[in-house]
A = this chain, B = another copy of it.
Amino acid sequence: MEPANVVIIGGGFGGLSAARALALEPVRVTVIDRANHHLFQPLLYQVATGALSPAEIARPIRAILRKQWNVNVVMHEVVAIDPVKRQVQFKGGSLQYDYLILAAGARHAYFGHDEWESVAPGLKNLEDAMQIRNRILMALENADSATDPAEKQAWLTFVIVGGGPTGVEMAGAIGEIARHQVAPDFRRIDVGAIRVMLIEAAPRVLTSFPEKLSTAAGASLRHLGVEVLNATVTAIEPSRVVLRLGNEVQELAAKTTIWAAGVAASPLGKSLGVPLDRAGRVVVNRDLTVPGYSNIFAIGDMAGFLDETGKQLPGVAPVAMQQGPLAAHNIARAIRGESLEEFRYKDKGNLATIGRAAAVADFGRLKLSGFSAWIAWMAVHIFFLIGFRNRFVAMFTWAWTYFTHDRASMLIFGQEGVGEEGANEKRAAGEGCPGKKIL
């Protein structure tokens, strides 16, 4: 009989692990992604802060699946799914499927303040990372040449909104840059004047971690000179951020704001017309199928799945890497006419890093912070980084940066006048091409 067609939307952790798990099954697999590469998102903040190059955390999906003969990779942006026709539609064509795995991940969300996106970019793909890197470096260039003290200070004030892992890692890395990169290279900048502010609405950072580790993370951040504010953001403008702390309103003159406060699942879920949760995730059955469609699975950041305690599983790689294989396994069982199995998450732990040589790690009973957690963090990330070459270069680069404080790729390119006087205003007004040359 004809092998079944399995279409996987998304080449992230979930999609790749599902494709691999189907290697020996009697199916034809198509992985479709709008990018040509898999991205190791946990290290994306290191590209955004000039520590790693894109090529060190991204690899073409075609190359990763090169040896798997029942897989075909195509680069298209899926615009809609027709579950009745069993069709995935993209610009200029469509694909038939017998089984579909939704693994398109999430984008950052601005909670009804989309106008903030042009002023305060989020960090989800390589473009985001390059844009944030350009903005941070241009802010330093502009601060160095600024003569008006107030303007200089605004260029030296960095606001990170959101105290989750991404926000903490970004704030820590910018703190590192302020401490070690600026003094030797920007002689007209007073390092003491640099302010890195992390804004978190909850009373502590890393709320997904035990309180003890949150406290340790907060301490490490303050040690790096990062100011942690328990506040909510009420307005973000090109040169100004407005906060509410309790009843008191505070204004910050800041020209660089980075958004790490929230994500929403890929809008593809909507086109199915099935129930979604608050974050736009498809509320899946215990076997990861989409209610009403036994041949459609949703995994990773796109899947609304509650654990035994009724808590939504976190949007992290391990969840996607465990759900992908189960979805694949269930497809194989369905083809054999067997009943599907339920997903159970094995929580291997939780890690976040804070600048150089500090991190927090929650391995259930074992809780680490500081240097030991940082070593654990490095080991885990190196282990999961795809491809020997990437592992080796990333490890070498980290060692190099650790000992020299010299970041590998503090380059500005590929963006029209990022951070230029008035560029933020232009962006806010939607003028100019965000990606055009600055040279």
Which A positions have Cβ atoms within 8 angstroms of B? 34-37, 53-56, 58, 60, 62-63, 66, 72-77, 92-93, 125-127, 130, 137, 141, 144-145, 184-188, 389, 392-393, 396-397, 400, 406, 408-416, 421, 433-439
Contacts and interface: CB of A to CB of B under 8 A. Distances in A.
A240 to B, nearest CB: 21
A63 B185 contact: yes
Contacts of A414: 126-127, 130, 414, 435
A127 B413 contact: yes
Given A36-B141, A36-B412, 14 more contacts: A36-B410, A53-B55, A53-B409, A60-B410, A66-B185, A73-B185, A74-B144, A125-B413, A125-B437, A127-B439, A389-B400, A389-B408, A433-B433, A434-B435
20 contacts: A34-B438, A37-B411, A53-B54, A54-B411, A60-B185, A63-B406, A77-B439, A92-B421, A93-B145, A126-B413, A126-B414, A127-B414, A127-B439, A393-B396, A393-B397, A396-B396, A414-B435, A433-B433, A434-B437, A435-B435
A56 B63 CA distance: 22
Contacts of A410: 36, 60, 63
Nearest to A137: B36
A134 to B, nearest CB: 10
Contacts of A185: 60, 62-63, 66, 73
A24 B113 CA distance: 55
Copies in the complex: 2
A124 to B, nearest CB: 9
Contacts of A130: 413-414
A60 B141 CA distance: 12
B66 A413 contact: no
Contacts of A145: 74-76, 93
Contacts of A92: 421
B396 A439 contact: no
A437 B411 CA distance: 19
Nearest to A412: B36
Given A36-B412, A411-B126, A75 B141 contact: yes
Nearest to A432: B433
Given A62-B186, A130-B414, A412-B35, A436 B434 contact: yes
A91 to B, nearest CB: 8
Contacts of A36: 137, 141, 410-412
Contacts of A438: 34
A92 to B, nearest CB: 7
A210 to B, nearest CB: 36
A293 to B, nearest CB: 27
A396 B393 CA distance: 9
A184 B60 CA distance: 12
Nearest to A409: B55
A435 B130 CA distance: 12
Contact of A53 (B53, B144, B187): B53
A416 B435 contact: yes
A63 B411 CA distance: 11
A411 B127 contact: no
A166 B26 CA distance: 48
